[in-house]
Amino acid sequence: MTRGLLLFAHGARDPNWAVPFEDVAQRVRAAHPGVPVALAFLEFMTPDLREAGRQLAAQGCTRVDVLPLFLGAGGHVRKDLPELMAELASAHAGVCWQLHPAVGELDSVIGAMAAAAGQLLRASTDTK
């Protein structure tokens, strides 16, 4: 089994919006050399989920973990993403597509956001 990772973000009209997401993808690639990692967007940016999934399947991935880079599971994650996942499964029957919870719902991410907020409070207290 060849495993791949598909990071899925919303997308925006401003190309600078994608910079942190591209950084996430690069860090994952650096930490896991040899594992195909794709970054896809729901709208405004490319590639979309279908194209990124096609690329991973073409690279020989037989299992692809899909991680939504959303802070919460709103309508896009609850409604749009399952429909897109069904399209991927239909188009690439030889691939197991595994959808994971939105990254913002993971305890490690919630903890990192709380730590960042705490650092901000400590820094503002230190400057008084």
* 127 pLDDT tier (thresholds 50, 70, 90): low
Catalogue the active-site residues: 10
Model confidence pLDDT, tens digit, residues 17-43: 999 999 999 999 999 999 999 999 999
The answer to whether 36 and 56 have CB atoms below 8 angstroms apart is yes
Model confidence pLDDT, tens digit, residues 110-125: 999 999 999 999 997 7
Cis, bond preceding 47 (omega within 30 deg of 0): yes
Structure pTM? 0.91
Which domains, from first to last, does the chain contain? 3-126 (3.40.50.1400)
